[in-house]
Structure 1
Amino acid sequence: MGSTPEEQQNQGGRHQEVGHKTLLQSDALYQYILETSVYPREPEPMKELRELTAKHSWNIMTTSADEAQFLNMLLKLVNAKNTMEIGVYTGYSLLATALALPEDGKILAMDINRENYDLGLPVIQKAGVAHKIDFREGPALPVLDQMMEDGRNHGTFDFIFVDADKDNYLNYHERLIKLVKVGGLIAYDNTLWNGSVVAPPDAPLRKYVWFYRDYVLELNKALAVDPRIEISQLPLGDGITLCRRIS
């Protein structure tokens, strides 16, 4: 028997409270995925950092466990070695990346809050992958602009993960498309933005969701017609769009 409209509405409310974890319409189905395919395969350092982050007041910002698992495999599939991450928080997705890279792999990681990164750093160090990470505290755009000035940086990144301020996603894109190599990948997180991209005007969404919604919509429209990339938007976590540079 299907759910009643009232049940569906209540279920949607629960997903809003859970935050940017899943867009699945069933909490039980999502839990099944986690318990069957994700948690049994999750490396111990990832589990430790995930549980540590869950206690933080801003835990809604962390990458979901199933998405981190996907990124880890994706990086191995494309043999990524030189990567970038914009928006780090406590470093859960960063750790997933570091574990996937070869011993001499590198991650340029940027975030405006070092304090959050320092929460997860002991776990990253214990995992033996901290030497792969070059963490920069502060806004990413000045760093990217500086890198753009040196042509030797162009086309040098294999993979770039963006999970920071949504209002700058398009600004990031115009720089990252030149820094990633042809055939390389840029992954934009939260591109379905808690399902708000199709929400009616009277939907009971939180203020910050409404605030960034237009920026996410603008990004999605721009990526869909950008001739420099191929894209695939996946309903994983809160939505992730993969962009493969083709020119």
Structure 2
Amino acid sequence: MGSKGMTPNAVLLQSKGLYEYILDTAVYPREAEPLKELRNATASHPLAFFGTTPDVGQLMGMLLKLVNAKKTIELGVFTGYSLLLTALNIPNDGRVMAIDPDREAFEIGFPIMQKAGVAHKIDFIEAEALPVLDKLLEDKENEGSFDFAFMDADKNNYLNYHERLMKLVKVGGIIIYDNTLWGGTVALPENAVPEGGKRLWRNSSIEFNRKVVGDQRAEISLAPLGDGIMICRRMF
């Protein structure tokens, strides 16, 4: 079936009312109280839109449990909604390695993580991600040692992160990349997108999606949740 056959669904995906219905009906009623508290604490931040959307979080929680994730890695933390969600959904002796150069934003959410009783699962590393990943890969024992990865860092480096995460995450493990539809701009002509960072990251997202679709090491799904997520399951 060609794209013309998808027109009704395409209209639905542009419906703000439908999105609010999904949140109000299926997401918010199941959202854990610590997550709700952190979402509210982030709402007044000038970059609040950086946060993981709760519908993405709900799917993440299910996938974490489906793969019995115990050792995970997160690149790009912000105030920590996805980090807290991960910590809530892995076993008590599980670990999350969380990498972000912005400790100030992380510290908005950390007291809530402490109150939720999951702070002992979190290893926060204040750094740029690529050097940390390269350091991990210097030790062969780290290859295939992570069950799950979540990526929400600089979009122009997604392909670099992907190559490293495809070595660090085990066969059968899952990697989720956030913001892969970049506000819907991936479907717009380049000249319709403002010059600067928005256009740069739109182009980076298009290139990343194209390359990952062609990566036979991964089973993939590009899902229109939040700002778009690319879900990859490592095959070999």
TM-score by length of 2: 0.92
SS in 2 for 1:112: coil
Q: 1:205 to 1:36 in 2, by over 3 A?
A: farther
Equivalent residue letter for 1:46: L
1:26 to 15, 20, 23: 15
Q: CA RMSD in A?
A: 1.3
1:90 to 52, 76, 79: 79
| 1:127 aligned partner | 116
| 1:18 aligned partner | none
Q: Percent identity over the alignment?
A: 59
Asked whether 1:44 is paired with 2:52, we answer no
| 1:59 aligned partner | 48
Asked whether 1:145 is paired with 2:134, we answer yes
Are the aligned partners of 2:71 and 2:95 in contact in 1 as well (CA < 8 Å)? yes
1:64-79 alignment runs, 5 A limit:
64-79=53-68
Q: What is the deviation of 1:207?
A: 4.1
Q: What is the deviation of 1:204?
A: 5.3
In 2, the alpha carbon distance for the partners of 1:174 and 1:143 equals: 14
SS in 2 for 1:227: coil
Equivalent residue letter for 1:149: E
SS in 2 for 1:186: strand
In 2, the alpha carbon distance for the partners of 1:50 and 1:162 equals: 19
SS in 1 for 2:45: coil
TM-score by length of 1: 0.88
**Which structure 1 residue ranges, 5 or more long, are not aligned?**
1-22
Residues 125-171 of structure 1 deviation map (CA, whole Å, 9 limit, x = unaligned): 10000100000001011111111010010000000000000011111
In 1, the alpha carbon distance for the partners of 2:197 and 2:100 equals: 19
In 2, the alpha carbon distance for the partners of 1:66 and 1:239 equals: 11
In 2, the alpha carbon distance for the partners of 1:48 and 1:60 equals: 16
